[in-house]
């Protein structure tokens, strides 16, 4: 049945916190370390000390990559509970929004 010339759009689909965190981190990595070949992985977790659900995002890159800009972002990202980094990875733990 034809109702009008407009299409009806359903409400926006909710994106899981893991997907959102991975996409955000990937965008930051691509912007600050273009062509670095870094991998970005996120998983749900729970921080017992803070008593809150979290998303843990790990960014892995080669030892020769300068990741200081990404490390600075990791410390200032919204909702950060803790961030750690080594010579070839950065791990960011954030509260689930």
pLDDT at 87: 86
> Could you tell me the residue range of the domain that residue 28 belongs to?
17-95
| Spatial distance between the Cα atoms of 12 and 14, rounded to a whole number of angstroms | 6
**Residue 21, phi-psi category: left (phi > 0), alpha (psi -120 to 50), beta (remainder):** alpha
Q: Is residue 22 part of a domain?
A: yes
Q: Is residue 2 part of a domain?
A: no
Q: Is residue 45 part of a domain?
A: yes
The pLDDT of 52-74, averaged and rounded, is 90
Residue with the larger pLDDT of the pair 64 and 58: 58
The pLDDT of 74-92, averaged and rounded, is 90
User: Number of folded domains in the chain?
Assistant: 1
Across 12-16, 45-49, 80-84, least confident range: 12-16
| Spatial distance between the Cα atoms of 68 and 1, rounded to a whole number of angstroms | 59
pLDDT at 55: 94
How does residue 90 score in pLDDT terms, banded at 50, 70 and 90?
very high
């Amino acid at each position: 049945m034809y109702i009008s010339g407009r299409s009806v759009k359903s409400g926006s689909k909710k994106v899981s916190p893991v997907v959102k965190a991975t996409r955000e981190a990937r965008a930051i990595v691509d912007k600050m370390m273009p062509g670095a070949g870094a991998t970005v992985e996120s998983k749900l977790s729970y921080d017992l000390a803070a008593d809150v659900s979290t998303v843990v995002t790990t960014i892995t890159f080669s030892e020769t990559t300068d990741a200081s800009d990404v490390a600075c972002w990791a410390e200032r990202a919204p909702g950060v509970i803790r961030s750690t980094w080594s010579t070839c990875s950065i791990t960011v733990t954030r509260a689930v929004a």
